[in-house]
Each structure stands twice: as structure tokens, then as C-alpha cells.
A and B are shown apart, each in its own frame.
Chain A
Amino acid sequence: NAGVTQTPKFRVLKTGQSMTLLCAQDMNHEYMYWYRQDPGMGLRLIHYSVGEGTTAKGEVPDGYNVSRLKKQNFLLGLESAAPSQTSVYFCASSDRVNQPQHFGDGTRLSIL
């Protein structure tokens, strides 16, 4: 039972490079989320999706784009990476409103 799988687990980028983080869930959940975790800041919502083909902005969306072409996948893109985007990124999913979210193990991203 994989749950929520994030790839890659680690990545180092240079400023200005682009990349895509992949989140896949096998629980048939409608809702998916991308968070970033920074020291002393807790988890902050970047973007979320309430179903296939939908996306919405969270608290800190600038510099990121997302897509949800398939129900099981939620992609987070950085078009032009900046050092301020160095963080640990977590993907989560849930099946209904006000239900616990299931998290992946995170992607540690460093931008030099």
C-alpha cells in the first residue's frame, strides 16, 4: 500500500533552472495539496486541487505552477528556481473536506 509517493526525494538545482516535482496517490482521493516546510514556519500551502483538472492557489503560490491532469497525480513546477525556494516540499491527499490528509515523505530541494 504505497499511499502518497513523491519523486524525487532529493534534488539540487542552480538558480534559474526549472524542474517538476511529482506526487502520486493510489487512494482515489479527490483533494491533493502541495506544502513547503521551512524552519520555524510550519507547513505552508502552496497550491491545492479539489479534483481532476482543477487547481487553486494557497498561501504562498508565487513562483510555482501546478497541474492535475489525472486524478492520481499532482505536479508542482518551478519555472525559474530561486534560492528562496530551497525547502522541503510535501504532497498530501484527502478524500473529503475536513478529513485527515495523508502525506508523502517529502522532497528536499536545494537551490544554489
Chain B
Amino acid sequence: DQQVKQNSPSLSVQEGRISILNCDYTNSMFDYFLWYKKYPAEGPTFLISISSIKDKNEDGRFTVFLNKSAKHLSLHIVPSQPGDSAVYFCAASEASGTYKYIFGTGTRLKVLA
């Protein structure tokens, strides 16, 4: 049973436009969410996070939105750049001290020049 779902395996966007990556979760106890970016032959690198007490967090071109009632989060990249082409994973954890993160299956973003 996949508790964190990324239903779009791939996404293509023109350079300069907005990229929107989506993530849905089923466990209502999740209260901390992260996005990671992964290039081929490298490990995932942390991009941005959000706790459940917020509904938005921004860091430069990256913004994460959290809709708790819909159990949905999204990552917006504006403007998209060719260097953003990578696989993006969302992850979630509970703040009850389980120390564990559940990852989605990833979305491959391709930004076209």
C-alpha cells in the first residue's frame, strides 16, 4: 500500500515556464514533507520542506504548497531551467519520533530549452 504517491512518472516543460509536480498521501498522521531532487548516478539532494503547520514554503524559484484536507502537496518551480531536469521525489514523515520517511515513486522532469 503506497502511502505517498506521485501519479505522474514524467513531465516536460518549456524553459522559463512553471513546473508543477504533485504528490498525494494517505496517512493523516504525516506532518512533515520534503522534496528531493536526483540526478543520474547521484544520490537525492534535499530541495525544500514544509511542516503541517504551514500551507506554503518558498525558497527562491521553489515553492511547496500543502493542502492538508486534500492530503496533497505540490512543488512549483518558476521559472524552470534546463538544469532542473531531474527526478523529483516527495517524502513524508510523522512527528511522533519514528525517524522514518516514506518516499514517493518519483517524477522525471524534463525542461526543454
Contact = CB atoms under 8 A, between A and B. Distances in A.
A40 B99 contact: no
Interface stretch (B11-19, B63-71, B102-110): B102-110
A45 B101 contact: yes
B42 A101 contact: no
Contacts of B101: 45, 101
Question: Interface size class for chain A?
Answer: 20 to 34
Contacts of B43: 4, 90, 92, 103-106
Contacts, number: 52
B49 A44 contact: no
A46 to B, nearest CB: 11
Interface stretch (B54-62, B73-81, B89-97): B89-97
Contacts of A90: 43-44
A98 B98 CA distance: 9
A58 B103 contact: no
A101 B7 CA distance: 24
Interface string A71-112: 000000000000000000010100001101111111000000
B105 A42 contact: yes
A75 to B, nearest CB: 18
5 contacts: A97-B99, A100-B34, A102-B46, A105-B43, A106-B41
B41 A45 contact: no
A50 B105 contact: no
A42 B100 contact: no
Interface in B22-70: 32, 34, 36, 41-46, 49, 51
